[in-house]
Structure 1
Amino acid sequence: MDLQSLTLLVEILDAGNLSEAARRLKMTRANVSYHLNQLERSVGAQLVRRTTRRAEPTEIGLRLYQHGLAIQSELAAARESVTTLGQSLLGRVRLSVPSGYGQIVMSEWLIDFKRQYPGIVLDVLFENRIEDLLRDEVDIAIRVIPEPPQNLVARDLGPVRYVACASREYAAQHGLPMQLDQLQSAPVVTAAVIGRQLRVAAYQGEERREVVLEPTLISENFLFLRQAILAGLGIGLVPDYLMNDDVRRGDVLTTLDDWRLSIFGTQMYMLYMPNRQHTRATRTFIDFILARVRGAAPVASEG
């Protein structure tokens, strides 16, 4: 077994199938299959279960994959240390951030980071779904979730708070719900998971309640949701940061303020892969964002 064989195994499992691995390695699929077979013979065990669409690791294959990944990361870090010695910080960070939080809160942070580190390439995805970080080649993801995935490192960025709110004009015409159950008969404007019922958790001291709602306007674009709330289309259930300026101006009123509301979770996390030697650029970015979050008390919510 050698480094080249481990690299081949890492590429196959990262790619998800032999054809994609062959494309990334600029080899034929038959050649990739041949070298994988040779590696399995040298180990004396099957490392990858192959189907027509998917390549998945066996238990020993996963262990070797993790070793290969660690070795690759160490080599990349060593190369970076040599090539950047005496130079300004260089590198690339691929980041996935929630659409609303990323645009409204994080955009200024990202711009400041880029000003401080012009040699680092920032590749920013604005999205709300949690995907496979390895498959999508994402270094860091910012997400609001009930519990962080066990296969990822999770840095707690603080609590998340949702608010029930409506435009002043809507409140004057229709009134605001004063009880949680009244949300069920109100036109609700919010984000939701397609194909699932919207279950809103509400906390008041030790009490926890859950309300099942059927929103009349749903979108993953939180800036659009803000426009819809300002237009008087219903009761918004959105992160507090989204409407803070409108609330301060008096254009939007909040209700059910005694309850702590949650849709996707109560905490925000920074997520990244474990057992990976991060580049200096990635480590610098992580430290930069953690410092900004600590200085932005309370931490804003996701959207």
Structure 2
Amino acid sequence: MDLKSLTLLVEIIDAGNLSEAARRLKVSRANISYHLSRLEQSIGLQLVRRTTRRIEPTEIGLRLYEHGRAIRNELLAAQESVSSLGQSLQGRVRVSVPSGYGQWVMADWLLDFKRLYPGIVLDVMFENRVEDLMRDEVDIAVRVMSEPPQNLVARDMGVLRYVACVSAAYAQEHGVPEQLSDLRTAPLITAAVVGRQLRVAAYLDEERHEVLLEPTLISENFLFLRQAVLAGLGVGLVPDYLVQDDVRQGTLVTALDAWRLSIFGTNMYMLYMPDHHHTRATSTFIDFMLARARTAEVDCAPCPSNTHS
């Protein structure tokens, strides 16, 4: 067994099937299959189990894969160290951020990072999906959730607070929710997950309550949700960062301020694979974003109360 064969095994298992491995390596599928068979023959053991759609490593295949990944990552680190000598920091960082928090809060952080490191290619996706977070085209994902997946490294980026709020005109005409149960019947404006019932978890003096919601206006675009609340179309249940300025200015008023509200979770996490090789660009990005998140957490007090009475 040589290093080239071991690297090939890593690429095949990472790809999930021979066709995808061939596409990534820009060779034919037959070529990949031939070299994999030669490697298995030289060892005398089956390294992967082939199905019509995917391949799965055998026990010995998984062991070799783990060794191969470690070796490949060390080689990548060595190559990067050599190529970066005497140069500004370069590389590519592929990151997936939530559509609302990413645009409203993280956008300035991302732009500041790009100004500081112009040689780094920053590839940013604004999306909210949770399933299959760490796809091959993503190095880092930022998500709001109650508990991060156990198979990923999760770095805490702070607490996310939700508020119930309405426009000043709506409050004057219809009043505001006074009881948690009022959210069941109010014209509710919020985000939702397709195919999943929407529930709000609410905490009062550490006692947890839960209410099933039936929104009348739903969107993943939080800027649109803010516009809808400002237009007086109902009660917004949105993250506080989205409406803090509006509450301070008095154009929106909050309700149920004694409650701590949560829909998708109360924490923001930065997620990445535990065994993923981090280039200097990626490591620098992680450190930069975590530092900005810590600063924002210190500077950002809970949304000030401006409850309509």
TM-score, length basis structure 1 = 0.93
- Asked if the contact 2:134–2:140 (Cα under 8 Å) also holds between the matched residues in 1, the reply is no
1:27-65 deviation line (CA, Å, top 9, x unaligned) = 221221222223333344433232222223334333332
Aligned to 1:10: 10
- What amino acid is the match of 2:292? R
Q: Note closer, same or farther for the CA distance 1:193–1:60 as it changes in structure 2 (3 Å cut).
A: farther
- Kindly state the Cα deviation for residue 131 of structure 1 after the two structures are TM-superposed: 4.4
**Which residues of 2 match residues 218-257 of structure 1 at below 5 A?**
218-257=218-257
Provide structure 1 residue ranges, at least 5 long, that are not aligned to the other structure: none
Q: Distance in 2 between matches of 1:39 and 1:133?
A: 32
Aligned to 2:264: 264
- Kindly state the Cα deviation for residue 187 of structure 1 after the two structures are TM-superposed: 1.4
**Which residues of 2 match residues 101-112 of structure 1 at below 5 A?**
101-112=101-112
* SS of corresponding position for 1:186: coil
- What amino acid is the match of 2:8? L
1:100-145 deviation line (CA, Å, top 9, x unaligned) = 1111111111111111111111101111113435533211111111
* SS of corresponding position for 1:292: helix
Provide structure 2 residue ranges, at least 5 long, that are not aligned to the other structure: 302-309
1:259-282 deviation line (CA, Å, top 9, x unaligned) = 111111111111111123311111
1:195-231 deviation line (CA, Å, top 9, x unaligned) = 1100111111221011111111111111111111111
Identity %, equivalent residues: 75
Tell me how many residue pairs correspond in the alignment.
301
Q: Note closer, same or farther for the CA distance 1:21–1:167 as it changes in structure 2 (3 Å cut).
A: same
* SS of corresponding position for 1:10: helix
TM-score, length basis structure 2 = 0.92
**Quick one: higher RCO (CA 8 Å, sep 6+), 1 or 2?**
1
- What amino acid is the match of 1:48? V
* SS of corresponding position for 1:276: coil
- What amino acid is the match of 1:112? D
Aligned to 1:130: 130
Aligned to 2:114: 114
Q: Tell whether 2:287 aligns with 1:279.
A: no
**Which residues of 2 match residues 33-182 of structure 1 at below 5 A?**
33-132=33-132, 134-182=134-182
Q: Distance in 2 between matches of 1:137 and 1:162?
A: 31
* SS of corresponding position for 2:196: coil
- What amino acid is the match of 2:49? R
Q: Note closer, same or farther for the CA distance 1:95–1:25 as it changes in structure 2 (3 Å cut).
A: same
Aligned structure 1 segments of 4 or more residues deviating by more than 6 angstroms: none
Q: Note closer, same or farther for the CA distance 1:51–1:299 as it changes in structure 2 (3 Å cut).
A: farther
Between stretches 40-49 and 258-267, larger displacement belongs to: 40-49
